[in-house]
Amino acid sequence: MSADLPNLAPGPFDLPDAGRLRVTPSTHPPRILLLYGSLRARSYSRFLTLEAERLLRAYGAETRVFDPHGLPLPDAVDADHPKVRELRELSQWSEGQVWTSPERHGAMTAVMKAQIDWIPLSVGAVRPTQGRTLAVMQVSGGSQSFNAVNQMRVLGRWMRMFTIPNQSSVAKAFQEFDEAGRMKPSPYYDRVVDVMEELVKFTLLTRDVSTYLTDRYSERKEAAAELAARTGLGSI
């Protein structure tokens, strides 16, 4: 090891290796979970989510849409509540996710935030979101804004997800959907197509190497120290 790096622990230190990114690709369809942030009967975030689901299926993905009705507030019940279990199991099943929220008071909705808050960073040895791809979208009642998608990007980073570069923000959403809830042709719709296409591409690119991509020196060092303490081998 270079003398310029005296504080690195030799065991956990691992040089990145492009060869470990060359793996036999999975052949099953990309698994995408979609969340939306409104309980209204005529919910434009739900309409946009269902439009995204149609596109994802056209791109060959397998999809699940979580219905937030009946999901309790975070910490109001135990994690074995049926809706909480359903959400966590879907998150674990997924290889990519789509989060779609209305913008309310310049922020994502409480319904959207509650879903994300119920998905912990880790459950034992399981990380329900780490290494998964993420696309973020929002709907607004007025002019175009990016407050909700910006907030969700911060959360995606915190949840250790790969948030794709593209995103969608639909202004005056009440004008963009017909009575049946289908999105009308427009530049807004074209952007949704772009986002879903990009999400599938990034999911195919990363899903088989996500464990390697999210493997961290600090966590390897901590694990080595814990192992040394348990086995009485001393510090690393």
pLDDT of residue 209: 87
Residues 6+ apart with CB under 8 A from 96: 30, 31, 32, 33, 61, 132, 133, 134, 135, 199, 200, 202, 203, 207
% helix / strand / coil in the chain, to the nearest 5? 40, 15, 45
- Count CA atoms closer than 13 A to 137's CA, side-chain side: 32
pLDDT of residue 5: 65
With respect to residue 196, please indicate whether it lies within any of the assigned structural domains: yes
Number of domains in the chain: 1
With respect to residue 228, please indicate whether it lies within any of the assigned structural domains: no
pLDDT of residue 236: 46
Look up the domain containing 192 and give its range.
Answer: 27-208
With respect to residue 125, please indicate whether it lies within any of the assigned structural domains: yes
With respect to residue 3, please indicate whether it lies within any of the assigned structural domains: no
Residues 6+ apart with CB under 8 A from 64: 31, 32, 33, 34, 90, 93, 94
Q: Average pLDDT over the chain, rounded to whole?
A: 91
The share of the chain scoring above pLDDT 70, in percent, equals: 94
With respect to residue 128, please indicate whether it lies within any of the assigned structural domains: yes
Q: In this model, does residue 9 exceed pLDDT 80?
A: no
Instruction: Report the range out of 11-15, 102-106, 226-230 with the highest average pLDDT.
Output: 102-106
CA distance 212 to 7: 23
With respect to residue 235, please indicate whether it lies within any of the assigned structural domains: no
pTM of the model: 0.90
With respect to residue 9, please indicate whether it lies within any of the assigned structural domains: no
With respect to residue 35, please indicate whether it lies within any of the assigned structural domains: yes
Dihedral angle sign, alpha carbons of residues 133, 124, 122, 35: positive
Interval 23-29 mean pLDDT: 93
Instruction: Report the range out of 5-14, 88-97, 118-127 with the highest average pLDDT.
Output: 88-97
Interval 160-188 mean pLDDT: 96
Q: In this model, does residue 47 exceed pLDDT 90?
A: yes
How far, rounded to the nearest angstrom, does the alpha carbon of residue 90 sit from its chain's CA centroid? 12
Q: In this model, does residue 211 exceed pLDDT 90?
A: no
Write the CATH number for 138: 3.40.50.360
**What are the pLDDT digits (tens) for 95-139?**
999 999 999 999 999 999 999 999 988 777 678 899 999 999 999
CB 1 within 8 A of CB 30: no
Q: In this model, does residue 7 exceed pLDDT 80?
A: no
pLDDT of residue 13: 81
